[in-house]
Amino acid sequence: MKTRIGTFARIGQVTVQTLRHYDDMGLLLPVEVDALTGYRYYTLDQLPRLHRILALKDLGFSLEQISRFLEEDLSPVELRGMLKLKKNELCQQVQEQLDRLERLEARLSMIEQENQLPDYEVILKRVAPLRVASLRRIIPTYWDEEPLWIELMEQIQRGGVKTFNSSLSMYHAGEPEIDAEVCIAVSPAVTGIRGLSIRTLPAVETMASTLHKGPFTGFAGAYASLLRWIDANGFRSNGPDREIYLRLPRAGKSRSDPDAITEMQVPVIKS
35-45 pLDDT, tens per residue?
888 899 999 99
pTM of the model: 0.69
Averaged confidence pLDDT in the chain? 91
Domain 123-270 has CATH 3.20.80.10: yes
pLDDT tens digits, one per residue of 197-246: 999 999 999 999 999 999 999 999 999 999 999 998 999 999 999 999 99
Distance between CA atoms of residues 200 and 183, nearest Å = 11
What architecture is domain 2-71? Orthogonal Bundle (1.10)
Adjacent-strand bridge partners of 241: 171
Asked if the model's pLDDT at residue 180 lies above 90, the reply is yes
Rounded-to-integer distance, Cα 255 and Cα 118, Å: 23
pLDDT of residue 141: 92
* Domain ranges within the chain, ordered by starting residue: 2-71, 75-117, 123-270
Q: Contact 159/194 with Cβ under 8 angstroms? A: yes
Of 125-129, 158-162, 219-223, 261-265, which range is least confident? 158-162
Pairwise CA distance, residues 254 & 248, whole Å: 8
pLDDT in tens, 170-179: 999 988 889 9
Q: How do the residues of the chain divide into helix, strand and coil, expressed in percent and rounded to 5?
A: 45, 30, 30
pLDDT value, residue 23 = 95
